[in-house]
Copies of this chain bind each other. A is one copy, B any other.
Amino acid sequence: MPQKQEYLSKNQQIVLSIIEKAKGPLKAYSILYNVQKKGIKAPLQVYRALEKLIEIGKIHKIESKNAFIACKNSDCEISKATAFSICNNCEHVKEIKNSKLSKYLSNFEDNSGMKYKKYNLEFFGLCRDCKLKQ
Contact = CB atoms under 8 A, between A and B. Distances in A.
| Count of chain copies | 2
A104 B105 CA distance: 10
Chain A contact residues: helix, strand, loop or mixed:
mixed
Interface stretch (A42-50, A51-59, A111-119): A111-119
A108 B123 contact: yes
Contact of A110 (B85, B111, B118): B85
Contacts of A120: 64, 121-122, 124
A88 to B, nearest CB: 8
B97 A114 contact: no
Contacts of A105: 121, 123
Contact of A98 (B63, B111, B116): B111
A101 interface: yes
Given A114-B128, A118-B125, 15 more contacts: A85-B114, A85-B116, A96-B111, A98-B110, A98-B111, A105-B123, A108-B123, A114-B127, A115-B125, A116-B125, A117-B124, A118-B123, A118-B124, A119-B121, A119-B122
Top 4 nearest A-B pairs (CB, nearest first) are A63-B63, A116-B123, A116-B125, A118-B124
